[in-house]
Chain A
Amino acid sequence: MRLTRRCLLASATAPFLLRAGATRSRTPHRGGVLVVAADTEPRNLNPALVASNGVFYVASKVIEPLAEMAYGEPGFSPRLAIAWQGSADGLRFTLRLREGVRFHDGRPFTSADVAYCALELWKKHQNLGRVFFTDLEAVETPDPRTAILRFAQPMPAQLIENALPALTAVVPRHLYEGTDPLANPHNQKLVGTGPFRFVEHRPGQYYRLERNPDYWDAPKPWLDGIVYRVLPDRGAIAAALEAGEIQLAAFSAVPLADMQRLAKLPGIAVIDRGYEGITYLVTVEINHRRKELADVRVRRAIAHAIDPNFVVERIFLGHAKPAIGPIPRFDARFHTADQPTYPYDPKRAEALLDEAGLPRGPNGVRFSVELLPAPWFEQTRQMGDYLRQALKAVGIEAKLVVKDPAGHQKAVYTDHAFDLAIGSPVYRNDPAISTTILYQGGLPPGVPFSNQYGWADPAMDELIARAARTLDPAERAELYRRFQRLAAEQLPLIPVVEFTFLTVASTRVHGVADNPRWAVSNWAETWLES
């Protein structure tokens, strides 16, 4: 076995990595307030309007979706819906709702709430739902426990099911109906059915949640409350963990470089599960309007110039995997390894560039590009530094242009003022939710995290549209395998690595990472050892 830094790091931290299974051996008990780190305060905290991990991190404890992801088969655990089924023609999706559920203000949860949210919030306003629920025509509510989503075009039941965890948070109709949903005060003062009730938000300081004594899944939740301390500095988050001022930091909030040191401290565990359902990729986004980059040989050359193992070992310190296509390995239903790959091979890259008619000039440079690394993660910025060097080695001169989030969004996704960019799209349990949009043509400018690359391929568009309408799961999966092969062959963007996050927590915290979206799920089963 080749000894790499990744192996060394893995062996160093392995004894301290706490797996969810290990925590289940103890008996949970009630009590204690869990204090966790938060580094952002979203303007709108309502997950029915904003389906985003930053929002879910806090709001998922208060407002629940219809179902949540689960490890193993069937991959879902019921929440507000206890059963669901699609019709054979794909035009209806019936949800059987849980009985005895009440909102935090005491009013009962019924199918009318689901109907209102689906038609008025998810479809009209939600960032993902506006596209996803385009064909949602009506919601029938034959009784308080049944909601039937009716679509104008066939929708695969598998796709709707896959969207349940992220896109179907339910808020009370009686607090939203007749108001402007985007300006509703309950977008900040949340009311839901979840295991925790929203108490207060002190901007710049904390969010405070308290136990919901009337939770439908009694005796859960185990915790008396959760406090999210707003800690904008990542170094301070590590120090706060050491000082015992917080007990948990999710989403790799602690710098990876500190992780190894923290893992060795008594009473602190580094947990590497609980994020598979929200796997991110690091991608090289390519502006196809640029003549040189419109040539597939050049794109393949760039792929050959990148060493994903270097990125895994040096940038992610072992906490990532080389990507094979745009669908991560975790989703075995759709992922295929049977697709063209571009192993690290600078000589092959140079040969392809020569073949494309781009020889090295007198100064050794073939052509120059502007490279914009996304500011979302420390690693996407570092990836920009690495790619600049990797491209230089094959004769492409890259000028790094670093912008803040608003500037990056405008430059890449609105103005298309870039040649190459480093992106970090998230995979959300189904390729049709937020992955195929990276390849689909004909999108207007300004849409973030979408194909703003000037890439247009009718064959790809046809495949994407067909897969999104195909009802048979097996046939649908096959279409997405074809999609991956075509994506890898044409390489409109280059997936480099896939990564999830780490949670650092006190060993007193149990019931952590028990589902693939744990950090953004409801934490009803999390408990504190006294």
Chain B
Amino acid sequence: MAGELIGARGPIGPAGTGGPPSGPNPALPEGPHPALSLVRRRLAQAPLVLVVVIVGGFLLLEAAPGDAVDAYVASLGGDAGLVRELRARWGLDRSAPTRFLLYLVGLATGDLGRSLAFDRPVLSLVLERLPITLALAGSATLLAFALGSGLGILAGARPRGPLDRLLSAAALVLNATPSFWLGLLLALLFAVRLRWLPLAGIETIGAGYSGLARLFDIARHLVLPVLTLGLVYAALYLRLMRAGMVEAWRSDFVRAARAKGISRRRLVLRHVARNALLPVVTMLGLQSATLVGGSVVVESVFAVPGLGRLAAEAVTQRDFPLLLGILIVSALLVLLVNLLVDLLYARIDPRVELGARAP
């Protein structure tokens, strides 16, 4: 979805080298602010996205063999009577369409239902875990973006130079490294050998910290998972940034800029890197869709009680109200992040027209 509204017509270059004309854009219609119009359109799309997510999620879980009672007795045992009783109690003796309809009725009143596996309201479970995943995934994304694009600029500043070769090789290795393995390696080094950082969990159990002390404690616990998740994505950003810059170096506007005697530093940062940034920002939007899924492994390795682990448990336990609740919240997050990314495009590239439709 990210990039849907891009109306770019060529690389961004210095005046007279292919960049956009200055002054108001004649393609934009009169009316509300373009950003507001974009927000409205995205809000209008949201219900459709949610319907697809809810129906898809329900059908997928229905297609999986076994239900929540099977999952329950598989781990805790029971007899035929208990199986019947639990199915009736959890409403699983009703047909799938009836259950879905009842779920939708509840949803219409803002009720996300009750988790079958945790026996708690879905909303409270999700809200409990969401901030943790947001902190983890948000910090990891920031780290990945900053580190990846920064190193990408260094690598792309002199393509095929020694630094480029070194960073590209490192990125390749990092990109090919499974996150669980990287996580365990980092844990062994920083938590087991050096004992600088806590290995698992989100905070010190029973420490009774509050305020800043608690925040600091949580931050310390998040260092290793953020590093693990962030490094893997940083490699991706590095490669994207570098590839974009290599492409930009071949552009006419770069040659023109060089001919005009612009300093190399300015050329790299203001023109080459800026042009290469768009695909990286696109990836940022796409990556938001994997916030939940991508963090499952890292959340398991570092015992971080986030939304990813909760989603994995919901699937294993065939807990359809919980899974649908997580999917709804995740979908809303993805919509929000993509909206922000689209707004960001316009900041990076003035030629992007927020209100315009793609041709």
Contacts and interface: CB of A to CB of B under 8 A. Distances in A.
B74 A239 contact: no
B316 A446 contact: no
B318 A203 contact: no
B80 A406 contact: no
Interface in A410-424: 410-411, 414
Contacts of A52: 75-77
Interface stretch (B8-16, B97-105, B153-161, B191-199): B191-199
B129 A125 contact: no
Interface stretch (B34-42, B65-73, B138-146): B65-73
Contacts of B80: 443-447
Contact of B75 (A205, A208, A403, A405): A405
Given A131-B79, A232-B309, A406-B64, A203 B125 contact: yes
Interface string B57-90: 0000000111110111111111111110000010
A242 B192 contact: yes
B191 A43 contact: no
Contact of B303 (A188, A229, A446): A229
B117 interface: yes
Given A202-B305, A239-B187, A409 B73 contact: yes
Contacts of A208: 205-206
Given A233-B301, A406-B316, A409-B70, A203 B201 contact: no
A128 interface: yes
Contacts of A43: 72, 76, 117-119
Contacts of B52: none
B147 to A, nearest CB: 25
A382 interface: no
Interface string A49-79: 0111011000000000000000000000000
A42 interface: yes
Given A203-B128, A205-B205, A236-B184, A403 B77 contact: no
A27 to B, nearest CB: 27
B202 to A, nearest CB: 6
B249 to A, nearest CB: 44
Which 9 pairs between the two chains have the least Cβ-Cβ distance?
Answer: A204-B305, A406-B66, A409-B74, A406-B71, A410-B66, A407-B65, A405-B74, A444-B80, A127-B77
Given A204-B310, A233-B301, 5 more contacts: A130-B79, A203-B305, A404-B316, A406-B316, A446-B80
Interface of B: 64-68, 70-83, 89, 117-119, 125, 128-129, 180, 184, 187-188, 191-192, 195, 198-202, 205-206, 300-303, 305-306, 309-310, 316-318
27 contacts: A42-B76, A43-B119, A50-B77, A52-B77, A54-B75, A127-B82, A130-B81, A131-B79, A203-B125, A203-B128, A204-B305, A204-B310, A230-B303, A233-B300, A235-B180, A236-B200, A236-B303, A239-B191, A240-B199, A406-B65, A406-B67, A409-B71, A410-B65, A410-B67, A411-B66, A414-B70, A449-B77
